[in-house]
Amino acid sequence: MATLRDIKRRINSIKSTAKITRAMKMVSAAKLRKAQDRMFALRPYAEKIDELLHSLAQPGEQDVHPLLKVRPRKTVEVLIITSDKGLCGAFNANVLKAGVSLINRLRSEGLDVSLSTIGKKGRDYFKHREVKMRQSWTGLSGKVSYTAAQEVARELMQSYIDETFDELYIVYNEFKSVVAQTIVEKRLLPIAEIKQEEKEAFKDFLVEPSEEEIFNVLLPKSIEVLVFRALIESAASEEAARMTAMENATKNAEEMIDRLTLEFNKARQASITKELMDIVGGAEALKE
Amino acid sequence: MAEKLTLEVVSPYGAAFKDEVDEVVAPGTEGEFGVLPGHVPFITTLKIGVLVYKKDGKPGYIFVNSGYAEVYEDKVLVLADSAEKAEDIDVERAKAALKRAEERLQKKEDIDFARAQAALQRALTRLKTVELAGKK
């Protein structure tokens, strides 16, 4: 049986673990709030870009923007967004599982698959797997900046235009609520045909340089915004997942402390009883 | 005719500025343009530059990093990759960025010339915005 000292030591070690998990939960909660603010801040911008894209005249058939051009599929690129840090429950496992199943599905269609990842966890996961890793970005998940998203988006768009791949899918965690994150799998390139709406809003507008040119500038911008959004959503989901994971860890640690304390008290009582028995036994022996 | 313009500057980080102003001068890709209340509706792209507005005779300065502008009769909406009011600009950071960009441009082997140059221009324009605001 464990001695009193052993139990005491275990209780103390679990107590300090609980302290750490509780602190991590608090940090995540603060970071989550920030990430959520970002998501709300982006919304008006994204909506405006979308609205403009839909209302501007598009260039004619002959010089369609290269990002809209649909090519026969040979190589398909998959971009998976993971986190840099662990201790966030099933966050990375879920997105990686979805990514792998997408890759397998594409392969079963006889397509070549190349891969890009964001986040250390994704990079490490695929390091020893049979996938052609094209690019990996790390250090983005902590503080997502638009410039970083722009960089990623530009590289991807350039590779698409250079025909390195013919289609681009993105897989990431979408933030639904603190307790629910869903995996999203989206085709980013080529851009699905943009339906032109009644351009009531901009009918009498002067446009400089020209509607077509602005449209061509906006198109890559819309991809940048999509990538940026995916990064923010993923960052928010990561913090939410970590918060939940740390809360569970704290709860488990507390349960364990309770159990060990009970055991500790029992052991202490047992040792007291034993000592008493000894004393009584000794006294009885002396009487006779 | 409207007497005031509502100037709204929006970036992916949220609304950077929103207020009623009298006059706006913005850095369009086809040249700077000024807007007064009652302007013809107009859309254009913007380059990296300083947006100047006047309110009650006092000028204000906002750094805008490319994007585009929509002008309505009584409203100017600017969508920029990033935008900062003069007083929100981190001068130290801009100076550091300027130095970094200059160093990168000196090292000729750097492949991404365009990016370094854009960074240089952003830094310079940020500093210029602060300087303009400082003079008044």
The residues that bridge with B68 in the sheet, in sequence order, are: B45, B79
Residues of A in contact with B81 (CB under 8 A): 146-147, 150
Could you tell me how many CB contacts below 8 A there are between chain A and chain B?
Answer: 67
At B8, the amino acid letter reads: E
Is A82:A92 a contact under the CB 8 Å cutoff? yes
Which of A236-245, A266-275, B70-79 has the weakest average pLDDT? B70-79
Terminal CA-to-CA distance of chain A, rounded, Å?
35
Which of A22-31, A62-71, A251-260 has the weakest average pLDDT? A62-71
User: Closest chain A residue to B118 measured between Cα atoms?
Assistant: A147
Residues of A in contact with B43 (CB under 8 A): 52, 202, 205-208, 214
Residue A22 confidence (pLDDT): 95
- With an 8 Å Cβ cutoff, is A202 touching chain B? yes
Asked if B41 and A202 come within 8 Å (Cβ–Cβ), the reply is yes
Query: Among partner residues B12, B28, B42, which is closest to A228 by beta-carbon distance?
Result: B12
What are the boundaries of each domain within chain B? 5-87, 89-135
Using CA atoms, how far residue A102 sits from A37, A53, A153, A175, A233, in Å, is 31, 30, 21, 20, 20
User: Is residue B60 classed as helix, strand or coil in its secondary structure?
Assistant: strand
Is pLDDT above 60 for A199?
no
Q: In 10 A of CB B89, how many CB atoms?
A: 19
Average pLDDT over residues A244-252: 95
- With an 8 Å Cβ cutoff, is B31 touching chain A? no
- With an 8 Å Cβ cutoff, is A87 touching chain B? no
Q: Which CATH number fits domain B89-135: 3.40.50.150, 1.20.5.440, 1.10.760.10, 1.10.8.100?
A: 1.20.5.440
Architecture of domain B5-87: Sandwich (2.60)
Average pLDDT over residues B26-37: 88
Catalytic residues of A: 88
- DSSP H/E element including B123: helix B113-135
Using CA atoms, how far residue A19 sits from A22, A248, A250, in Å, is 5, 13, 8
B112-134 pLDDT per residue, tens? 777 778 888 888 888 888 888 77
Give phi and psi for A34, each to the nearest 5.
Answer: -60, -45
Is pLDDT above 90 for A201?
no
Is pLDDT above 60 for A1?
no
Average pLDDT, rounded, for chain A: 88
- With an 8 Å Cβ cutoff, is B114 touching chain A? no
Asked if B10 and A205 come within 8 Å (Cβ–Cβ), the reply is no
Asked if A146 and B13 come within 8 Å (Cβ–Cβ), the reply is yes
Is pLDDT above 70 for A248?
yes
Where does the pLDDT of residue A279 fall: very low under 50, low under 70, confident under 90, or very high at 90 and above?
very high
Distance from CA of B78 to the nearest CA of A (A): 10
Domains contained in chain A, CATH given: 4-28+245-287 (1.10.287.80), 33-243 (3.40.1380.10)
Residue A62 confidence (pLDDT): 60
Residues of B in contact with A44 (CB under 8 A): 10, 14-15
Residue A64 confidence (pLDDT): 73
Can you tell me the distance from the alpha carbon of B96 to that of B85, in angstroms, rounded to the nearest whole number?
A: 19
CA atoms within 13 A on the CB side of B98: 13
Predicted ipTM of the assembly: 0.77
Average pLDDT over residues A13-29: 95
Query: Among partner residues B11, B30, B42, which is closest to A45 by beta-carbon distance?
Result: B11
User: Is residue B47 classed as helix, strand or coil in its secondary structure?
Assistant: coil
Can you tell me the distance from the alpha carbon of A143 to that of A93, in angstroms, rounded to the nearest whole number?
A: 22
Is pLDDT above 90 for A253?
yes
B76-99 pLDDT per residue, tens? 999 998 888 888 888 888 888 888
Report the DSSP pairing between strands B23-28 and B49-55. antiparallel
Burial of B121: CB neighbours in 10 Å, binned 0-12, 13-18, 19+: middle
Burial of A217: CB neighbours in 10 Å, binned 0-12, 13-18, 19+: middle
- With an 8 Å Cβ cutoff, is A208 touching chain B? yes
